[in-house]
Amino acid sequence: MNRKHTILIDARAATRAHLGIKRYVRSLLEALIPELAEDEVLHVMLSPEAEEMPFLVHPKVTCHLTSAPFGTFKSHYQAFKIALSVKADIYHAPYILTPVSVPGKMVLTIHDVIPLSHPQYSSYWMRFLWKYLIGRRVVRHSRKIIGVSNAALKACEEEFGARIMNRSTVIYHGIASNFTPQSEEAVEAVRLKFGLPERFFLYVGSDLPHKNVSTVLQAMALMDPTSSLPLALAGFSPEKSELKDEVEDLHLDDRIIWVGEVPEEDLPALYTAARALVFPSLAESFGFPVLESMACGTPVLCSSLSVLKEITGGNAKIVSAREQREWMHAMDLASVSLEWHEAFQAKALAWASRFSWKTTARSTLNVYRSLYRKK
């Protein structure tokens, strides 16, 4: 009887507290399970905060639930114990804060090193965890490192040394198949649901300082209020947002639409409805909204971060992150030029078609298989 190859994926970080990681883990698992070979079995480790994933009900999949919340020492200890019992050949950690040493060969996914590359956005304790207590040791212990972009691996190299590049590879995220241009009926339903006008700019993300929404607000304050489009802010609750005060101070109350948190099933129609997506981030791991918007045929104005340049491949309008007047001119052009809109719409659709979770899953499985013990 042939020995089974056992894969353990640590999905404990797939929670609402880590939305990008959750999107990555859920999408990867859903695409990866159908690609498993006859001699491969999958174990998935979940935290008590995990949301339901119906696709995990599968004959090749076994789930393990920790009792402690993700990020606690107890949770990491339980993860280590589960890994011991499973006797996994491969332990895939999709997030750097994971048990330092585990049975089996560790594969680590690096999304970013923002706590180290942009220390102003994290606490001293978080930086200490990443730099010394866990992060450096996990990177050193990993047999293979998957970077979600070349920019992510370059940042990791700068923090942890050049030797990691010898065991690193880039595997881009995919785009879910439901992110396509939506019907007029679906778009109209979203407009009615969120109180949106016929034409508007859209921002999707959090209101954290590194998302740099303030620069776009300041750019809007420079624009002619009688001819510029309103901006819909989606992805966070406005009640406690510091952006509320800024909108009032800039006298933008009647030009900002507070959409709030958006159910995932509404996102494709929301992107489709927008004139363009604005994404002014100062620090980013990948930027799901950028590619999702492009896949829905909506042009993108994004900051000049290296990762955003990389994943858009010259098919989005790149704007200097902190240059208010540059944002003003870019948004003006996107508002009035039909030629500009049609050109960037066509480029966005063609470019986004290159990204699929099936490709991501197959490439990830190839990384696992390169580490299997030779028979």
pLDDT tens figures, 83-115: 889 999 999 999 877 776 788 899 999 988 777
> SS3 of 109, please?
strand
The whole-chain average pLDDT of the chain stands at 91
Q: Which residue has the higher pLDDT, 375 or 28?
A: 28
Q: How many helices (H) and strands (E) does the chain have?
A: 15, 13
Question: What residue type is 118 in one-letter code?
Answer: H
Residues near 190 by beta carbon (within 8 Å), at least 6 away in sequence: 196, 266, 269, 270, 273
Which helix or strand (DSSP H or E) is residue 73 part of?
helix 73-86
Q: For 134-146, what is the mean pLDDT?
A: 83
> SS3 of 27, please?
helix
pLDDT of residue 133: 67
Q: Is the pLDDT of residue 233 over 70?
A: yes
Confirm if 222 and 324 have CB atoms less than 8 A apart: yes
Residues near 342 by beta carbon (within 8 Å), at least 6 away in sequence: none
Return the CATH fold of 5-174+356-370: Rossmann fold (3.40.50)
Q: Is the pLDDT of residue 375 over 70?
A: no
Q: Is the pLDDT of residue 265 over 80?
A: yes
Nearest by Cα to 144 from 375, 374, 363: 363
Q: Is the pLDDT of residue 149 over 90?
A: yes
pLDDT of residue 100: 67
Band of pLDDT at residue 350, cut at 50, 70 and 90: very high
Comparing 5-174+356-370 with 184-352, is the CATH topology the same? yes
Band of pLDDT at residue 140, cut at 50, 70 and 90: confident
DSSP per position, 256-310: EEEEES--GGGHHHHHHHSSEEEE--SS-S--HHHHHHHHTT--EEEE--HHHHH
pLDDT of residue 220: 96
Residue 288, CA atoms < 13 Å, CB-side half-sphere: 22
Band of pLDDT at residue 161, cut at 50, 70 and 90: confident
Confirm if 122 and 137 have CB atoms less than 8 A apart: no
CA angle at 358 for the pair 202 and 370, rounded to the nearest 5°: 130
CA atoms of 14 and 35, how far apart (whole Å): 21
The domain ranges of the chain are: 5-174+356-370, 184-352
CA atoms of 302 and 284, how far apart (whole Å): 11
* Predicted TM-score (pTM) above 0.75: yes
Beta bridge partners of 302: 279, 318
Residues near 290 by beta carbon (within 8 Å), at least 6 away in sequence: 277, 279, 300, 302, 308, 311, 312, 316
Domain formed by 184-352, architecture = 3-Layer(aba) Sandwich (3.40)
- Provide, rounded to the nearest whole percent, the portion of the chain with pLDDT above 90: 71
Q: Is the pLDDT of residue 354 over 90?
A: yes
Tell me the per-residue pLDDT of 13-64, one tens digit each, with 9 for 90 and over. Answer: 888 878 888 899 999 999 999 999 999 999 999 999 888 899 999 999 999 9
Q: For 178-192, what is the mean pLDDT?
A: 97
- Provide, rounded to the nearest whole percent, the portion of the chain with pLDDT above 70: 98
Q: For 151-157, what is the mean pLDDT?
A: 89
Q: Is the pLDDT of residue 221 over 90?
A: yes
Band of pLDDT at residue 157, cut at 50, 70 and 90: confident
CA angle at 190 for the pair 295 and 182, rounded to the nearest 5°: 35
Q: Is the pLDDT of residue 370 over 80?
A: yes
Range with lowest mean pLDDT among 109-118, 180-189, 197-206: 109-118
Q: Is the pLDDT of residue 333 over 60?
A: yes
pLDDT of residue 37: 95
